[in-house]
Structure 1
């Protein structure tokens, strides 16, 4: 079908009528919301998006986090009592840093805000520190610092188990801290006793002596930490792996220690505030698969099931804000069919992307240059910064045409839907009043909320500097350094106020590891697929910008080790069909000698050919690698709902045909 332009007033009226109808006939949970990564890069956007759903009374919240990081939140809640308790390495003082499944030179670190990542890594080495990169590919980061150690994709949890086993063997434990601040160590000790380095080396490919030497360096260094990111998170056992990683950092005495891992504070003590007010602490389970909610949301990998499965609570309307799930989520071809069956699909974005292209309503939002802002939520609220500072920015340009900011859109949607933001009638009236006052005082501006005033209010409530005073510090206002000895015994929110090293859910889930290990060993000769990040195309964000595509060309590639290409009688730019348990894709191959054998790497974020509003991106031939990943409750991490997007088995076959202009290239 085709689209026609309508007024904001008409759009709000029609959307509001449908929301009211579904809420009355099918209940509030029939209305769902997907919050994408882009929403998180604005302070007000995710707050007002959540406020709209709270007003409706719907629990059907989904986000991009179950594609890349919800394992960390789920485990943190079980261990520390709050999901946003996220310890990070003290990079300025660390002497041994082990980085697993992360490429900070390209990602600029994940969660943690680090100035000049390459310089920071090199500074560690300059002062005599040791860095290890454990990864199936010798990444760009490993090329400028440290020692690289290959690991078989998806086997990180077994590396961590044997690391902890060896740490205990080498007596690298801080017994005083274990007795004073931790519970459950004996249970964890029992869990890892049979996972020695010799056993796991058969699967991980990490020689026992290499692991033992790594542990020895970790123990003798004054300040050590293990850090992991998406390569581990998305590898199928992300929750169990991150759990054991955190146990290692804790029992070695490095948690809350100079040069170890720290727990920061933002403009407020968000840990204390969140626990006190029950923020991100829902305890319910999903209708399909009975998966736990994490950060007050369900697993994206069951969204198609929640839409397609009839019964009470079936989702019949979706709001997608700042995201493109038809590119980013597992088995997105199935999700597309589910979205096409919805009675209402509304998207809020700056592009008419794949998801927007099948929406009933596309609401144009402002971009980052068109709004005032404060930092990302992790540095702002959690203090996840190498060098803490706070910064404010004014809007650089005015919105064009019909663009509106997301906070104002959700305020209007709430009114049209007959609900109040955050479930507060007083709050709804307050925001409507200041919106009218702002419009009266600024008739030349787009009708909307005074965003700078709202951001200033957040700063004032936190008793920090005002927005205008921060503008006088264009490069940021320096805050207090991250403190050691400020977390253990002080900001733990478990029942006994101790770090829980052995949560029951994780212990029970770990019982599957012996079967996992056997299955992996039995399939050791099969290929595994991993994803690959590109800075210029920034996941799926910038494919519609010609200059960002110059380095990448008009397609992504399947990267393989030269010896694997030779074994399969493949030459560069030959086409291969890559097949998983759910789908197939076709791509040209390129040799990459920094890749572990029996591993194939495919950059993600491609496949924009059907995006109506992306005139540059839809001329590319790139393939959406995420259609190879399985969805549904049985395919997900049972602790966090994480999708298995990297490190899964695939079959590789030379193709006799060329690449088509489609999602899969077939």
Structure 2
């Protein structure tokens, strides 16, 4: 083979975060020699972040499992796929037969949303389980966004997206897009996009308890006490609606509830909320005036707002602010995508419904389901609490809830008592170490890719398909193949005998695969042949012929066409949200002021550009450098405790304690401390060599499973009350 024949170039989308950056991958034979940004990608235009290079490391990682494993008394042993799948289905069926359908639970982690096959075939498998005990990373992340979208617009995925490329005033609350690369705002090269706002005469304002990477490049940064953002938003609405005049623009004739929200905002003056938020009244009025005066303004809030006790109120009030100022469904404001594969109006076979709430409740605490899932914060108690309906078996897929859900130590204990556990996962990590069987899927580079979810959350309408770079080995299985094989076996066991019809169906769906479903969705989507006759519509074939992707244009006003409410109107004042304002007012009374219990600090999380939740710490190139798992603390708080920079401290909460070094910095406000998410790799029984050398401590050994956003059930990580002392004065809870 000649050198030229051995060399090739592959174009694909990076799937390691939400940004959808285009990659140019060069190979010699089957060896990757270079990964860099694809300058011809119309969306990312050559930009990548350090995580992109990790695709090669993940593919080649010696710790990545490449065949099924069974846990035995003497350790892990290799088993065949047929044996592993048969045993999994048999044990699930036996437990459900003896103890009921809900005795088996399922937990899906974030990477499933970045996986074409998983997002298409995972829901079918979950339906086949017939259990109400379904959980996912949704309820430790963005559930308030989905609940609010469902209540206001009629569909849980009809989420407004900041039109960052045309706005002239961007108010960022509890978000750090320079570290996240945008979250529920797919926007590669966020730094350049934010700089462009300033270059065209606009402003970027960040409100956050920490001076984040995004805050450092903003025009101004405002500290706010954790958990009080809903108060600030109501004060902004007071200025806009009570002291000013609402102007909902072209939506005016299609919005219900304006008078209701005006009445709610009346009592929340900037002066009334200032003692609680720590934001001076004149600063609030200044932000409101600038927001109202801008030709195109948008308020955007993410994790810091969603993961607090009033997360749903925050996301609702952001939508209200954008609406009453004329910035919803308006250029430069908060807009809606028209993705080529439309998960709002597209194929129902995906099982992504409009949403639901309260169709059933959790057994122990009585928390309502949303969209067919229960809050992940109740998963451990549903395993540990005796009685009918107790969870006895668990299926996890691409999730590490021991590190990513509140009170992880309690879940760690609960997993050890299960009758059966199986994990569809490529790693032996802090969660999967409890599994009886691990079914590892192929690497990201061994599967094709299309971002169904993140094209629907992007700041521009684009479409891009990436074929697999490498063919899986003979023992490789795709996630969707594992889901489908388990589903077929379960259905066969329930019928009591093999069925020719069932076998033919299984074989037909296996041949169909993700690509044919994707092609159908593209053809039926807003840019497909259904709406563009004469063969001008988008198809998978056309995407294959455009390896850099296809630009479908900027976001356009389209809400009135995409509304899913029964009356086709925007519900600005959904009753559950309106009623929850009373809980907010009682928590922060008008006559009250911010009170601090003796020595108490409020713990918030943080993210780093080189981190991605809990599963990127086994890549040496991403964890090198100064240790990142440190507790940020303001100098005043450190001085009161006699702490010097770098000292070991023990952090204690209601549920546990951890020990980490302290980093004394002015980047957090007094009374607030910050610990990163995703660490805690020191537990025994894992197989993560690099991560083990940078173990750190898990913030979720401190966060409280009893702290929730009442409306959605989303975990309230942000603002966990903690005590911090020199490590010598207390001992940390040992890892199991």
Give the deviation of 1:496 after TM superposition: 2.7
In structure 2, the partner of 1:29 is: 102
For 2:140 and 2:503, the matched residues in 1 are separated by 33
CA contact (8 A) 2:178 2:609 kept: no
Matched, 1:625 2:688: no
- SS of 1:353's partner is coil
* Structure 1 unaligned regions, length at least 5: 439-448
In structure 2, the partner of 1:459 is: 522
Give the deviation of 1:468 after TM superposition: 4.0
Give the deviation of 1:454 after TM superposition: 4.8
For 1:629 and 1:211, the matched residues in 2 are separated by 30
User: Structure 1 496/84 Cα, relative in aligned 2: closer, same or farther at 3 Å?
Assistant: same
User: Structure 1 205/434 Cα, relative in aligned 2: closer, same or farther at 3 Å?
Assistant: closer
User: Structure 1 residue aligned with 2:435, among 352, 359, 362?
Assistant: 359
* Structure 2 unaligned regions, length at least 5: 1-72, 529-536
In structure 2, the partner of 1:337 is: 413
Matched, 1:8 2:76: no
Question: How well do the aligned residues superpose, as a CA RMSD in angstroms?
Answer: 2.6
Q: Per-residue displacement from partner, 1:483-524 (whole Å, max 9, x unpaired)?
A: 12x213x33222332211221111222211122114872337
Q: How many residues align?
A: 642
CA contact (8 A) 2:657 2:732 kept: no
1:430-469 alignment, distance < 5 Å: 430-433=505-508, 435=510, 451-462=514-525, 463=528, 465-469=538-542
For 2:410 and 2:320, the matched residues in 1 are separated by 38
User: Structure 1 350/334 Cα, relative in aligned 2: closer, same or farther at 3 Å?
Assistant: same
For 1:184 and 1:588, the matched residues in 2 are separated by 50
Q: Per-residue displacement from partner, 1:6-52 (whole Å, max 9, x unpaired)?
A: 11111111111112212222222222110100111112213322211
In structure 1, the partner of 2:61 is: none
For 1:123 and 1:524, the matched residues in 2 are separated by 44
Matched, 1:498 2:569: yes
CA contact (8 A) 2:203 2:218 kept: no
Give the deviation of 1:390 after TM superposition: 0.7
For 2:270 and 2:98, the matched residues in 1 are separated by 58
User: Structure 1 135/563 Cα, relative in aligned 2: closer, same or farther at 3 Å?
Assistant: same
1:74-223 alignment, distance < 5 Å: 74-174=147-247, 179-223=252-296
In structure 2, the partner of 1:309 is: 385
For 1:286 and 1:415, the matched residues in 2 are separated by 29
Give the deviation of 1:294 after TM superposition: 2.1
CA contact (8 A) 2:464 2:549 kept: yes
Give the deviation of 1:425 after TM superposition: 10
User: Structure 2 residue aligned with 1:615, among 689, 694, 711?
Assistant: 689
CA contact (8 A) 2:610 2:622 kept: yes
Matched, 1:250 2:313: no
Give the deviation of 1:580 after TM superposition: 1.3
- SS of 2:559's partner is coil
Matched, 1:532 2:610: no
User: Structure 1 163/532 Cα, relative in aligned 2: closer, same or farther at 3 Å?
Assistant: same
For 1:335 and 1:642, the matched residues in 2 are separated by 17
Alignment TM-score, normalising by the size of structure 2:
0.83
User: Structure 1 364/178 Cα, relative in aligned 2: closer, same or farther at 3 Å?
Assistant: closer
User: Structure 2 residue aligned with 1:346, among 422, 426, 440?
Assistant: 422
CA contact (8 A) 1:557 1:588 kept: yes
In structure 1, the partner of 2:28 is: none
User: Structure 1 175/230 Cα, relative in aligned 2: closer, same or farther at 3 Å?
Assistant: closer
Matched, 1:517 2:593: no
User: Structure 1 337/211 Cα, relative in aligned 2: closer, same or farther at 3 Å?
Assistant: same
Give the deviation of 1:131 after TM superposition: 1.3
In structure 1, the partner of 2:470 is: 397
1:245-284 alignment, distance < 5 Å: 245-273=318-346, 279-283=353-357, 284=359
CA contact (8 A) 1:621 1:659 kept: no
Give the deviation of 1:217 after TM superposition: 0.7
Matched, 1:429 2:504: yes
CA contact (8 A) 2:377 2:406 kept: yes
In structure 2, the partner of 1:286 is: 361
In structure 1, the partner of 2:718 is: 646
Give the deviation of 1:162 after TM superposition: 0.8
Alignment TM-score, normalising by the size of structure 1:
0.91
Give the deviation of 1:641 after TM superposition: 0.9
For 1:412 and 1:228, the matched residues in 2 are separated by 40
CA contact (8 A) 2:179 2:609 kept: yes
Q: Per-residue displacement from partner, 1:201-243 (whole Å, max 9, x unpaired)?
A: 1111111111101111111111111100001111221011111
Matched, 1:69 2:142: yes
CA contact (8 A) 1:71 1:233 kept: yes
For 1:290 and 1:142, the matched residues in 2 are separated by 40
